[in-house]
Structure 1
Amino acid sequence: MNKIIIGCIAALFCIFNADANLLVTPTRAELDDVSHRSSVFSLVNKGSSTARYNIYFEDKVQLAEGGYRSIDDSKAVLAQFVRYSPRRVTLEPEQGTRVRMALRLPKNTPIGEYRSYIVFHEIPLTPVILNKASDDNADTFSLSVTAYMRISIPVILRVGELNGEVTIGEVTDEKVQTSLNVTINRQGQRSTYGDIELFVENIITGQVHLERVGSVKNAAIYTELNKRIFPVTLSRALKKGTEVIVRYTESKSLKDAKVVEKRIAI
């Protein structure tokens, strides 16, 4: 019985020590029907052993509380609009390759923003064979568990001139002046993503200087949501009543990228 327990513990150890050894760039691809009709992903195997990956599309929805939920659909939205190659790669340690993607947009495609995720899913190099113990009465068994990594990269397609507005909503104290919850509101036909920054003003030799006291990079709100709340950890505790400048700067990859600010006293 002890050997059974040891076998289970070893299997769980394998699960939680899966190495994410694939380096993928960029971490977001953006296509449109005018000037950005292709994209290239660079892959590098940073692990110490040969690895093989299947490459495919899947759809997910963003959740207001954070994270994503996969949609059980037989065909991802962007699968009908793009072609990509290769669909499977095998990489030696420190070896790299490229996956090329090109837009194939059907005529009269409705104006809007479309999004799917390209997935790089590690698969076994050889079939996994489970060996059954020869003695059916033995008090041991062989348990083999392997965790294979998956990396999902958002691919966004914009068709037509899409409008988008963004505002900073409620800002609330989270943990005794060491963390703030910042609400970003989104309206319009396109997603928004960018950086949240928090500043306080300091007077140094008679001049006002902005001190950044917190930030969140790549804060994203996709079209299925109208707002999200982002917790921002402060680099130092702030006194009650301190005025904080909250700034949200949209990614420059967005055609009409905006910068919005709000002053609040915590």
Structure 2
Amino acid sequence: MTLFNRPIISTYLLLSTCLTLLATLFFEDGSAQGNLLVTPVRVIFDGQKRSEDLNIANLGKDSARYVISLIEIRMKRDGTFEEINEPDSGQAFASKYLRFFPHSVVLAPNEAQIIKLQVTNTADLKPGEFRSHLYFRAVPDENYPLTTKNENDSTGIQVKLVPIFGISIPVIIRSGETRGSVRLSDITVKADEKQGPFVSMLFNRFGNASVYGDIEVSYISPQGRTTQVALANGVAVYTPNLQRLIRIPLTNKNDINYHVGKLKITYTAKTSKESEQLAFAEVPLK
């Protein structure tokens, strides 16, 4: 799961005495955040598949309203995200080929709702991959107290932060022949004084499709003993990006010496039916 910050989206001046700023958090690849759970964590339409049922659930103790929309996102080389309005070169949006219902829901505590997602206008699809993100945004309670009286403030101007939580999941349409592959390069192991040892690597993507999978890092001692030292699930490289720089913390144990032996790194795509190894590398340590 990748966290990224969206710029402040709304500013309210209430009776010239209270300034309220709304900040929004996004989570790529879906998960539970702000008492909201969304499954599945991504949707891919390929072949004859034309619809998908999404489940959203309110895990909180209070009723909540969620607004659903389609947004466009750019992935940067370091894996962070930013919202965009125009596609980058080689990028195609899926939003104009998608429809969903409902567009907003109110959920009681522990209540769930099905969101219907469909592909439309398929006759207009050109070969390649199209991507947009379905964004689930929590709407603040209208009864939230926006003003409080501060007797010590002669100006009467106060600032209150109201967090708005959201989850975005990628929705990908693949038309015609699409294929993505990965090669790992620039693998280095270093130690940070505060955060401990970590491995960094460069994902090099090839083809006309995004890739998505789990990274497993194992330490192999000089005696041949293998120990899992890192696991990162749901790592993606989206089109049109050709590279993504990954940094993963490693287990810091006294019986593991990252100056001898070697690291084994595997990048695997998993589905409900099978697993496919997308990339593999072994790196001698020194």
- Taking structure 2 as the reference length, the TM-score comes to 0.74
Q: How far apart are the structure 2 equivalents of 1:127 and 1:72?
A: 33
Per-residue Cα deviation, 1:142-173 (whole angstroms, up to 9, x for no partner)? 65542221211111111112122211112112
For residue 36 of structure 2, what is the aligned residue in structure 1? Answer: 22
Q: How far apart are the structure 2 equivalents of 1:131 and 1:173?
A: 51
Q: How far apart are the structure 2 equivalents of 1:218 and 1:264?
A: 23
Q: How far apart are the structure 1 equivalents of 2:110 and 2:165?
A: 17
Q: How far apart are the structure 1 equivalents of 2:142 and 2:219?
A: 57
Q: How far apart are the structure 1 equivalents of 2:230 and 2:144?
A: 47
User: Gapped runs of 5+ residues in structure 1?
Assistant: 1-6
For residue 165 of structure 2, what is the aligned residue in structure 1? Answer: 149
Are 1:223 and 2:239 an aligned pair?
Answer: yes
Are 1:60 and 2:46 an aligned pair?
Answer: no
Alignment RMSD (CA, Å): 3.5
State the 1:126 CA deviation. 3.5
For residue 95 of structure 2, what is the aligned residue in structure 1? Answer: 79
State the 1:190 CA deviation. 0.3
Query: For 2:105, what is the secondary structure of its paired residue?
Result: strand
Q: 1:94 aligns with which of 105, 110, 114?
A: 110
For residue 201 of structure 2, what is the aligned residue in structure 1? Answer: 182
State whether residues 132 and 141 of structure 1, in contact with CA within 8 Å, keep that contact through their aligned partners in structure 2: no
State the 1:15 CA deviation. 7.2
Q: Which has the larger radius of gyration?
A: 1
State whether residues 248 and 261 of structure 1, in contact with CA within 8 Å, keep that contact through their aligned partners in structure 2: yes
Residue 83 to residue 211, structure 1, CA distance change in 2 (3 Å) = same
Alignment of 1:1-266 (within 5 A): 20-32=34-46, 34-72=47-85, 77-126=93-142, 140-141=156-157, 144-175=160-191, 178-201=197-220, 210-235=226-251, 236=253, 237-252=256-271, 257-266=276-285
Q: How far apart are the structure 2 equivalents of 1:125 and 1:110?
A: 43
Q: How far apart are the structure 2 equivalents of 1:263 and 1:145?
A: 47
Residue 160 to residue 145, structure 1, CA distance change in 2 (3 Å) = same
Residue 190 to residue 251, structure 1, CA distance change in 2 (3 Å) = farther
Pick the structure with more helix per residue: 1
Q: What amino acid is the match of 1:193? A: Y
Residue 145 to residue 209, structure 1, CA distance change in 2 (3 Å) = closer
State whether residues 129 and 173 of structure 2, in contact with CA within 8 Å, keep that contact through their aligned partners in structure 1: yes
State the 1:253 CA deviation. 7.6
For residue 30 of structure 2, what is the aligned residue in structure 1? Answer: none
User: Gapped runs of 5+ residues in structure 2?
Assistant: 1-16, 25-32, 87-91
Q: How far apart are the structure 1 equivalents of 2:112 and 2:41?
A: 16
Pick the structure with more strand per residue: 2
State the 1:90 CA deviation. 0.8
- Taking structure 1 as the reference length, the TM-score comes to 0.79
Query: Number of paired residues?
Result: 248
* Identity value in percent: 26
